[in-house]
């Protein structure tokens, strides 16, 4: 168990130090994380609505931060090129994210072409039914995206790496709230980047993380 938890710390730490330099990005992650927590609560009673909240608000704000505000040039702090970071990223790098987001955005067209989706749904009766079916479809897309990458990691890395990544994805909303809750105030104060990225992460996350952590991928 200690090995699993240490690997989780490594993935979290590398994700933070490589991909969250921008305070705007951190702020959007705080919004995203708070929304995901709300979606988790809603999922107990209405999974389709939770998927709509997760994709339309939480995922869009999160990916806007990465795509539009996070620096993509040479990372002076970590002495790494963007290509290098994209190559070793454990989860969804930019290219993989674009593919996943394209599938998400285009998937409702399946319900336009075939409202029953090969007999899975009763044909929608009005806009409300259509939106609910979209939410159910997006729930499957999200879970399938996580499962697909986990299986890839099982094959390309090992089972523990895949399970650690799934655990990280599931717990990121809570972790991001803890890390980035001060970022919106920093942005309002006129800051754009973290003064010292190490200071933005709690001590228990970075302690005992091997110095060579990034060599195994982020």
Query: pLDDT by residue (tens digit) across 105-122?
Result: 999 999 999 999 999 999
Close Cβ partners of 88 (under 8 Å, ≥ 6 residues apart)? 214, 217, 218
pLDDT tens digit sequence for 66-85? 999 998 889 988 899 999 99
Q: What is the pTM of this model?
A: 0.87
Q: What is the mean pLDDT of residues 6-12?
A: 95
pLDDT tens digit sequence for 191-206? 877 654 444 444 444 4
pLDDT of residue 129: 95
SS3 state at 142:
helix
Parse the chain into domains and list their residue ranges. Answer: 2-204
Residue-wise over 96-116: b if at least 16 C-beta within 10 A, else e?
Answer: bbeebbeebeeeeeebeeeee
pLDDT > 70? residue 132:
yes
């Amino acid at each position: 168990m200690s090995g699993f938890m240490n690997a989780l710390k490594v993935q979290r730490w590398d994700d933070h130090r490589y991909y969250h330099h921008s305070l705007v990005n951190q702020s959007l992650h705080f919004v995203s994380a708070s929304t995901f927590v709300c979606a988790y609560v809603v999922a107990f009673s209405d999974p389709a609505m939770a998927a709509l909240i997760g994709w339309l608000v939480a995922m869009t704000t999160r990916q806007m931060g990465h795509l539009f505000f996070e620096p993509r040039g040479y990372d002076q702090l970590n002495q790494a090129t963007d290509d290098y970071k994209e190559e070793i990223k454990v989860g969804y790098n930019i290219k993989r994210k674009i593919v996943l987001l394209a599938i998400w955005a285009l998937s409702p067209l399946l319900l336009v072409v075939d409202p029953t989706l090969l007999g899975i749904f009763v044909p929608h009766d009005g806009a409300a039914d259509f939106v609910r079916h979209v939410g159910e479809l997006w729930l499957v897309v999200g879970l399938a995206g996580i499962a697909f990458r986990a299986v890839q990691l099982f094959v390309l890395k090992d089972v523990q790496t895949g399970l650690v990544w799934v655990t990280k994805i599931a717990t990121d909303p809570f972790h991001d709230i803890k890390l980035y809750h001060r970022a919106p105030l920093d942005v309002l104060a006129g800051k754009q980047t973290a003064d010292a990225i190490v200071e933005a992460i709690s001590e228990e996350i970075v302690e005992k993380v091997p110095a060579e952590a990034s060599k195994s991928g982020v």
